[in-house]
Structure 1
Amino acid sequence: MPRILGVDLPKEKRIDVSLRYLYGIGESNSRDILKEAGIDPAKRGKDLSEEEVSHITAVLQKSYRVEGDLRREISQNIKRLMDIGSYRGMRHKKSLPVRGQRTKTNARTRKGPRKNVGIIRVAEAPAKKPAPAAGK
């Protein structure tokens, strides 16, 4: 099982597919990385030699921002938006959709489970004492 930048890649899958397990690497980036490293995309992870793994790692470190660095950069960008008080930053703070989606319905992923509003349940009131008889 090849290990690249602290991530174990699956050994049975093709290397062009298994490179996508790295955060920030998609289909086209995976193809470009393998082309630059000179590795056949149809190879399986278990068939890679140590030298080929080191070529892939070198290409990734030279040209791409992946995993921890990319996650850190994205979180810093979001924090910057919140600090300057931009509209997008406010939406991030309130955990609402940022890119203009509707929120009257849908948006459950960002907003979380529904909170019921308007149903007020009153606990059972204790039984009333009968009024005293008047005048006798």
Structure 2
Amino acid sequence: MVRLLGVDLPRNKRIAYALTYIHGIGLTSAQKIIKSADISSEIRTDDLTTEQTVALRQALEEIDLKLEGDLRRFNGLNIKRLNEINCHRGKRHRNSLPVRGQRTRTNARSRRGSKKTVTGKKK
């Protein structure tokens, strides 16, 4: 099992797709990392040698991206700042509502959670 930046990569996937399991790396940046580490894109994570793993680690250190813990901390601090200045986006984050202008009368289930039935009034 290959472990990079505190993330266990899945075993039998091609290395480009396995690298996307690291927070902050998409498919395009994964392919750039593989190219800079001089590794074949067809290789699977099970077939990586120790030299290739070391080359991947070095390529990840050299790349100028915020990854995993640093990126999560950066995003968390931005959301905390929005909450503290009490702006509209901060209020929406606080109330677990969609932030970017989506409607909430219907849909928005992934943000608001599952439906909670409200009992009707008796007459």
Provide TM-score, normalisation by structure 1.
Answer: 0.81
- Report the equivalent of 2:113: 112
1:79 aligns with 2:58: no
Aligned to 2:27: 27
* Structure 1 position 113, deviation (Å): 2.5
Uncovered stretches (5+) of structure 1, i.e. residues with no partner: 123-136
CA RMSD of superposed structures (Å) = 1.7
CA distance in 2, matches of 1:7, 1:117: 42
Q: Which runs of 5+ in 2 are unaligned?
A: none
Distance 1:59 1:119, change over 3 A: same
TM-score, length basis structure 2: 0.89
Matched position secondary structure for 2:29:
helix
**SS at the partner of 2:99?**
coil
The correspondence of residues 1-136 of structure 1 with structure 2, limited to 5 A, is 1-63=1-63, 64-117=65-118, 119-120=120-121
Query: How many percent identity over aligned positions?
Result: 48
Aligned length: 122
Shift of 1:121: 5.1
Structure 1 pair 46–115 and aligned structure 2 pair: CA distance change class (3 A): closer
